[in-house]
Structure 1
């Protein structure tokens, strides 16, 4: 009986692709942006992470033309995202320490093992999610999700039916220009309370 030889892909073979995916995702987050204005003139802008922190700092200090000046709902989501990025990157890079941008740039070169391939792919997807969210925030989306726990009921997520009638998990806190609402307990915060809500869910001011 003839047995067909089957090729088995090992973790060692997956590792280069996983590192490349991680490196590409990080590049999208921290590369200098090439922009084009309404007149067609090309110019450069800071990377997305720096743009987000700059916009948040402008909102807090009252200086400059913050993209979030008239969008407090986007401001609170931005604070939440910056805190999440800095915490997550520090966890990924441990025991290495340093500035978030430096740690991100060094991540693909930290001597990963073949068995780390799957985790690195997950990190790449997470970073691509950050890139998409930052772009949405800078563009001024009207509705944003916040990952912190509700100060009233402590729920962080809820299950809801999506457009395909499937149960999906999403953050419990939903923020719009008109209000912040917990989808678990129904507590509502007006825009005048957004800064208090940000402090309650652990969103520190941007340094």
Structure 2
């Protein structure tokens, strides 16, 4: 692989640096060449040190592959630490799933509460990332149990640290009997996310289209497990 090809393959379609752990030994060598450590590029290629393996290198490993100068080893480890930190930051920002609240049971329900479309609805939104879930809750003004969408809404955002989540449950919410009979209304799925350590045990609920709850809950549980493993220092 030429230097030019390796350089371009280190960047994604937007011109940003690609994820460090995906780099080949040639790409890793080019990075260190640009940092003034190019004399070791051939050693990285010879010993098949890729971006995935580089963070595992200990000081003794660096000496074994031929990096004998103490200052160079320190610089090598410093740059690896910076690359790993950048990868962790990018990983935290990666969006795995976006969704929004299923507000109404049917189109008739929607038409009635929005004055036949004259008062647009701003649903709550959900964004699942690698180690946290962002929930933007939108609440309409109410008069007793009646939601008055035409009178405006208020909202607040909550970032849930998935490493602190204790329980994730899915419940079905059936549509009202009248709407099921007259409007072919479908139910909703509610995902309850609870933590013993977050906000005094506050429970957050996601309201989704019927049939979506189990799939999304499985995604959340998977990220909860990964986040808790990383928090315990057992994730590789």
TM-score (norm 2): 0.22
The structure with more strand, counted as a fraction of residues? 2
Structure of higher CA gyration radius: 2
Structure number with greater CO (CA < 8 Å, separation at least 6) is 1
The structure with more helix, counted as a fraction of residues? 1
TM-score (norm 1): 0.24
